[in-house]
């Protein structure tokens, strides 16, 4: 658990964004990154005083950070016992993806129902980027993430966005543990393009069916990888 001292730099990047972010949030960002990248494996205990001394801060902001991560569903806290990186069982993974399909399907229906299916430029761009990603697995993952995030954004539903954020976070955590490349970028790009086309022609039902098929495939592949690789937790 090599947790480097946090950078005292402002965490913002956009111009003019000089908001002062509390220590706790910056620590949460850093730990989240490590969890999502697989550096902090599921089950790893996150001891407050240890993290505090490693980061050169007191326990208060560390507690704050652990609370935030709990809100993201990335850690589990038991009173008087401590906090650990959440272990993902086979069942959790399956539930996660079914939930994801449910929410994205809802997003599609909403996009069509509210007539927002004519502004799909960003989604098309994502498909193009997927096809062009070649063998760069990292780039493919990023684009895929952007595609689905855009889908949710288009639905224009704050509560949906909140829930989906939690789901996407855990999905990313799962992906980090499936190191092996999953599928052919061209196939993935084609799958997504079919979904976008169905949305564009206001055919929500077809789009949802395609999406569920796609996610169903991903579940199979991930779970396959899961049972073979390591019985984590």
Residues of the shown chain interacting with DNA in the complex, contacts defined by CB under 7 A: 19-20, 22-24, 45-50, 57-61, 63-64, 77, 79-83
CB of 174 to a second copy, least distance (A): 13
Could you say whether residue 78 binds a second copy (CB under 8 A)? no
Rounded distance between C-alpha atoms, residue 33 and residue 39, angstroms: 9
Could you say whether residue 163 binds a second copy (CB under 8 A)? yes
Neighbour count for residue 193 (Cβ, 10 Å): 17
Which one of DNA, a second copy, none interacts with residue 70, CB within 5 to 8 A by kind? a second copy
Q: Which is nearer to a second copy, 47 or 125 (CB)?
A: 47
**Binding to a second copy, residues 118-137 (CB under 8 A):** none
In 3D, which of 41, 37, 39, 65 has the Cα closest to residue 51?
A: 65
Which one of a second copy, DNA, none interacts with residue 49, CB within 5 to 8 A by kind? DNA
Could you say whether residue 67 binds a second copy (CB under 8 A)? yes
Number of DSSP helices (H) and strands (E) in the chain, helices first = 9, 3
CB of 207 to a second copy, least distance (A): 16
In 3D, which of 96, 94, 72 has the Cα closest to residue 85?
A: 72
Q: Which is nearer to DNA, 6 or 167 (CB)?
A: 6
In 3D, which of 129, 106, 127, 122 has the Cα closest to residue 211?
A: 106
Q: What is each CA distance from 216 to 97, 99, 109, 146, 193, in whole angstroms?
A: 8, 11, 19, 19, 17
In 3D, which of 137, 61, 149, 64 has the Cα closest to residue 100?
A: 149
| Interface with a second copy (CB under 8 A) | 20-22, 25, 64, 67, 70-71, 73, 79-80, 91-92, 95-96, 98-99, 102-103, 106, 157-160, 162-163
């Amino acid at each position: 658990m090599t947790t480097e001292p946090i950078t005292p730099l402002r965490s913002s990047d956009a111009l003019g964004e000089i908001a002062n972010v509390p220590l706790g949030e910056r620590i949460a960002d850093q730990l989240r990154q490590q969890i999502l990248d697989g550096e902090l494996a599921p089950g790893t205990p996150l001891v407050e005083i240890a993290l505090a001394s490693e980061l050169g801060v007191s326990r208060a902001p560390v507690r704050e950070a652990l609370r935030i991560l709990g809100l993201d569903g990335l850690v589990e806290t038991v009173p008087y016992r401590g906090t650990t990186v959440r272990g993902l069982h086979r069942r959790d993974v399956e539930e996660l993806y079914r939930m994801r399909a449910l929410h994205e399907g809802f997003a599609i229906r909403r996009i069509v129902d509210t007539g927002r299916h004519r502004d799909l430029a960003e989604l098309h761009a994502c498909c193009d980027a997927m096809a062009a990603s070649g063998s760069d697995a990292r780039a493919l993952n990023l684009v895929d993430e952007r595609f689905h995030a855009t889908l949710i954004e288009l639905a224009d539903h704050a509560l949906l966005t909140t829930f989906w954020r939690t789901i996407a976070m855990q999905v990313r955590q799962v992906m980090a543990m499936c190191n092996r490349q999953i599928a052919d970028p061209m196939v993935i790009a084609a799958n997504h393009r079919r979904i976008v086309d169905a949305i564009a022609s206001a055919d929500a039902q077809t789009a949802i069916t395609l999406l569920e098929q796609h996610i169903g495939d991903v579940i199979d592949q991930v779970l396959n990888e899961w049972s073979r690789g390591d019985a984590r937790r």
